Structure 1
Amino acid sequence: MSTTQKVVVITGASQGIGAGLVKGFRDRNYRVIATARSIKPSTDPDVLAIAGDIADPAVAERVFKEGIARFGRIDSLINNAGVFIAKPFTQYNAEDYATVISTNLNGFFQFTQRAIAEMEKQGSGHIVNITTSLVDHAVKGVPSVLASLTKGGLNSATKSLAIEYSGTGIRVNAVSPGIIKTPMHPPETHAALAGLHPVGRMGEIRDIVEAVLYLESASFVTGEILHVDGGQSAGH
């Protein structure tokens, strides 16, 4: 087993932004540990695909145990998996709340804690949290309290972790997307969603991948919330 190639863990890696991130990091010759609830085994020997719910501590334990056994190191973690439920605040129920909290916060905690423990051993590492521009720029007609509660927490945690580990060689950043053209948005909604961005279009998966890869190579950047939102956070 060669341990010279860098290794990245990517959550929510089966489709959309997550699948784009897997390709983007493989194009940079990273080995990838990819996880999602419905992910299929990979035919690429440099991609280890592990199916499971990231909110389950046993899944996080398995991802890092098997990943390290296979590749020997952990250099980066991309906390990409997330749940968004758009409902008026008073219509959220206990199941909605538990679902969003378990994925957006518990999953982040389980994976990030294990990743940092491994990164500390080698004196280097990088974590990127995928959040949302709605945290900074609420949109009329897009109810997003649970997203703001959880992803806003990740923005704050990004800055806190960046400072806590600033002297260890570990960097922590976030990418805050606008509305991205993924399978979760039916084509008939694209025109209306494009109009929610000052630049007049939805984001593409490559926009987020390029932002994450920029942060990956930006060694003097930590604690940054990088908005990739077509101007949403700046206002209309």
Structure 2
Amino acid sequence: MSNSKKVIVVTGASQGIGAETVKAFRKLGHQVVATSRTIQPSDDPDIATVAGDIADPATARRVIDEAIARFGRVDTLVNNAGIFLAKPFTQYTAEDYATVTGVNLAGFHFITQLAVAQMEKQSSGHVVSITTTLVDHAIDGVPSVLASLTKGGIAAATRSLAIEYAKRGIRANAVAPGIIKSPMHAPETHAALGALHPVGHMGEMSDIVNAIVYLDSAPFVTGEILHVDGGQIAGH
């Protein structure tokens, strides 16, 4: 279905990369189910919105049920929702741990289970998740243990999903960004954050969205962790 209308589910869709991903898939003519805690209803009849905490299994169920009720299928799941807390490892609280693992791991696990179950009925589908290049290339001065613990798990799960479902028409890939200009980062931090990349600047949200769209249109690519990180994965 690479060239026909698809039904795309996007988590963390109210702002930043998630919102831009929704726009990109709509420009391609696809129908979208967008979810986040604060998502607002859309006037576009080809966008369904579901507000809720993605860490809650009930939200995952409502999102997939809405996709089936409104559009009849689920072709692609974009696991974009995520939390990054940069703290020294010993300063993470129990609340930090619960929040990050809830969104990053539970938020991946429950909706991916439901989406893949639907994709099995269709004998086709694609799961693309957002990780972080810090999983593979830690940076001095950017404490990231909880990000690596959770997003690293998603990278490993992506490869496992790719192999488990390869013969059933379902692909799984991930995008591992560097530091991206998004609402997460104040403009006054951009110069310092850009200097952490070999290319000397931060990435744009469009860089990540283009990678997602590429992976979704590449039927021979599965199990790939695509680094879009200004060269960080190569060294520094």
TM-score normalized by the length of structure 2: 0.98
In the alignment of these two chains, the number of paired residues is: 233
SS at match of 1:167: helix
1:56 CA displacement: 0.5
Q: AA paired with 1:57?
A: P
CA RMSD between the two structures: 0.7
Matched with 2:133 is: 133
Alpha-carbon separation, structure 2, partners of 1:51 and 1:8: 16
1:219 CA displacement: 0.6
1:208 CA displacement: 0.3
1:5 CA displacement: 2.8
Q: AA paired with 1:36?
A: S
Matched with 1:171 is: 171
Matched with 2:204 is: 204
SS at match of 1:183: coil
Alpha-carbon separation, structure 1, partners of 2:106 and 2:42: 26
Matched with 1:213 is: 213
Alpha-carbon separation, structure 1, partners of 2:38 and 2:139: 31
| 2:114 is the counterpart of 1:114 | yes
SS at match of 1:208: helix
Q: AA paired with 2:180?
A: I
| 2:13 is the counterpart of 1:13 | yes
Alpha-carbon separation, structure 1, partners of 2:130 and 2:5: 24
Alpha-carbon separation, structure 2, partners of 1:166 and 1:63: 25
Matched with 2:102 is: 102
Alpha-carbon separation, structure 2, partners of 1:148 and 1:60: 23
Matches within 5 A, 1:1-236: 5-236=5-236
1:7 CA displacement: 0.1
- Runs of 4+ aligned structure 1 residues displaced above 4 Å come to none
Alpha-carbon separation, structure 1, partners of 2:65 and 2:128: 21
SS at match of 2:70: helix
TM-score normalized by the length of structure 1: 0.98
Alpha-carbon separation, structure 1, partners of 2:5 and 2:179: 33
Q: AA paired with 1:45?
A: P
1:137-171 deviation digits (Å, cap 9, x = unpaired): 10111100000000001110000000000100000
Alpha-carbon separation, structure 2, partners of 1:66 and 1:104: 22
Alpha-carbon separation, structure 1, partners of 2:65 and 2:205: 30
1:127 CA displacement: 0.5
Q: AA paired with 2:174?
A: A
Alpha-carbon separation, structure 1, partners of 2:69 and 2:101: 30
- Unaligned 5+ segments in structure 2 are none
Alpha-carbon separation, structure 2, partners of 1:43 and 1:148: 38
1:58-89 deviation digits (Å, cap 9, x = unpaired): 11111111221010010000000000111000
- Unaligned 5+ segments in structure 1 are none
1:179-230 deviation digits (Å, cap 9, x = unpaired): 0000110000000001000011100000000000000011100000000000
Q: AA paired with 2:154?
A: L
Alpha-carbon separation, structure 1, partners of 2:175 and 2:102: 20
Over the matched positions of the two proteins, sequence identity in percent amounts to 70
Deviates more, 1:58-67 or 1:145-154: 58-67
